[in-house]
Chains A and B, each alone.
Chain A
Amino acid sequence: DAKTTQPTSMDCAEGRAANLPCNHSTISGNEYVYWYRQIHSQGPQYIIHGLKNNETNEMASLIITEDRKSSTLILPHATLRDTAVYYCIVRVSVPTGGGNKLTFGTGTQLKVEL
């Protein structure tokens, strides 16, 4: 699985958009970009994933660059409850399904403040 690089930490004001970047310059054509987050003392939680098109769900949006070497997770209106470590993970998803192992890096600690 391709390696990812994320900033160690970021701050965001409550109500503002949080934009979390991730570099994955060695990504392969059949590798997807996944985002999980881990709120303190809880298990990781799936947020979103994508291959090459931008994706949006009720939690966030995922913007993947055309060359797929980087992506950005966007939380459109961050709240205090979004304070967590956000992990960007690249892995193959063939066949589709949640039964493929995840390799976690160090992630980005997002702190949402008043």
Chain B
Amino acid sequence: DARVTQTPRHKVTEMGQEVTMRCQPILGHNTVFWYRQTMMQGLELLAYFRNRAPLDDSGMPKDRFSAEMPDATLATLKIQPSEPRDSAVYFCASGDWGGNTDTQYFGPGTRLTVL
């Protein structure tokens, strides 16, 4: 049963520290999404990649956030420096653009707490 995996599942850090979240999309999927969920804002799209190229990162604070796909099996979301307002659950999802299934698969999320 193919799944999107994310690490770490939980992260507690102090303000100013660097945070790196990792995502392994489903093998064969060509599109990877990063979402953030907070009580106040709900689920919001931060960025997404297609065939490892960034397509849209307009939802991401550019000064501190960066997203990359070093290879087809790994997507990373980095925050440097982290701030308390970054505390949220970060979800990665993958999908197959142009494929036979119209489902977007979400990972279990990384719960980030910035003190």
Interface residue ranges, A against B (CB under 8 Å)? 32, 34, 36, 38, 41-46, 49, 87, 93, 95-106
Contacts and interface: CB of A to CB of B under 8 A. Distances in A.
A100 B103 CA distance: 9
Contact of A101 (B48, B100, B102): B48
B42 A98 contact: no
B45 to A, nearest CB: 5
A96 B109 contact: no
Interface stretch (B13-21, B28-36, B63-71, B77-85): B28-36
Q: Which size bracket describes the interface of B in this complex?
A: 20 to 34
Contact of A98 (B43, B45, B103): B103
A102 B102 contact: no
B95 A99 contact: yes
B43 A44 contact: yes
Most chain B CB neighbours (cut-off 10 Å) among A93, A97, A99: A99
Contact of A104 (B29, B44, B95, B98): B44
A93 B100 CA distance: 12
Nearest to B50: A99
A44 B44 CA distance: 12
A43 B95 contact: no
B97 A100 contact: yes
A42 B101 contact: no
28 contacts: A32-B102, A38-B43, A43-B109, A46-B103, A95-B97, A96-B98, A96-B100, A97-B96, A97-B99, A98-B31, A98-B94, A98-B95, A98-B96, A98-B99, A98-B102, A98-B104, A98-B105, A99-B29, A99-B50, A99-B96, A99-B98, A100-B31, A100-B95, A101-B56, A104-B43, A104-B44, A105-B42, A106-B42
